[in-house]
Structure 1
């Protein structure tokens, strides 16, 4: 059994007993790990209540390969990101980012994944207002998807390979991995040129200054893709909360209302039906 010390992000935290917690950590040097923080729930705990989701610190734990649960020995706080808990949109978005990493991370170190999550959380935490927080959450989620090798094709038809024109409506085929021209996919919900251009910016990690033009459309696209490509037949628990928060965000500058009848749930269902 070795004593490991590494930078770590708290992805999830839940009680294990009356006095202890179990944490899901994503660490810089040891990948995704589960640790038990004994005594963390005691009033005078040495952890001081810092072991909450989105916290970043230096974790020390007893690492025994082959075990699923390790024992936390210490945690030195670097950044708490407590502000994320004061915004429904920010909290929901940061939770979804954490769940994507929990779903896809392994025990092998992946420094780029660690740093991408750190940057995404920081941008969401610094966002002023729900529109900006939503845009930052969407850009962060797509940045993780791209880094993991699941980038959807948004510039050319996934069926025939033809580059689609900037002003050309398309379909979004989540299972095939991107957009399809209307000749190859004659049926299905149309993805308008504005939303496709916006998706391409989000895939590059760009956060629109005034928010996304059609929040519910972008939420639907992300949901459809995550469920088709990364869900592994297990729904993302944080996705519903995220989509509920999308319903509270007005269209960004230059945008218009999403499609008629699209509420947070209806827009998400429509997104799943884009394929």
Structure 2
């Protein structure tokens, strides 16, 4: 299958990137500024917040303030993670454009992450999808641990396909397939997509790969060859997973953009502006970007 001519990037840094930030709560103003900088760089889809209990994810306790405080750019979709009906209702009050629900392809991970089985998690999402339909809000679905689980090890591609199909049948407009612990390799990623696209049309699938073993870009190239044209990434490679020991951040948006530009694939995003944003946010967090491209190119002189 030929590579896509254009790719939609879904920017994860404000939510997946910051939700497990260990160095104290990131100020609300910093989160808002990050989202606004990413929109100015050309991002059209930004996951901005997570409406979960602050007891479980303290870093996202100011989700309502963040969503309400953004100066929204026309043509940009600002989305939020809403794992249950209460989260959805809270998000709707802030004028959220789109929401997401989060499942897993691993029973053990589902229990550790959201304290229920896969089947129970899917049942919990049904009222969220129903309410979202009533108010005309699109819902994205996530499937975590699609290429491996810290508790179960290897995950069968058929299991990923099964969960993705359940989310698709429920009404999710897009299913993001996450290598949560970053253990995947190109052949495994290809097989997972081959199995999943037999259940869900490939144009409804997205790739969300972490870079723990340095394989994320190779895996993304492999799945683009299988028809994937939506990629989740986080500026500066921010992020990790509190339930997956050793899991490093998401693949860096800067590195994905450099790859796509080299392949002649359109994104409409300003790479240098993203690099500068990555240096800015990591400066706020007291460290350097983990993006290889950002470190090689450096920030623009000003």
The answer to whether TM tops 0.5 is no
1 or 2 for the larger relative contact order (CA 8 Å, sep ≥6)? Answer: 2
The structure carrying a bigger helix percent of its residues is 2
The alignment's TM-score, normalised by the length of structure 1, stands at 0.24
The structure carrying a bigger strand percent of its residues is 1
The alignment's TM-score, normalised by the length of structure 2, stands at 0.22
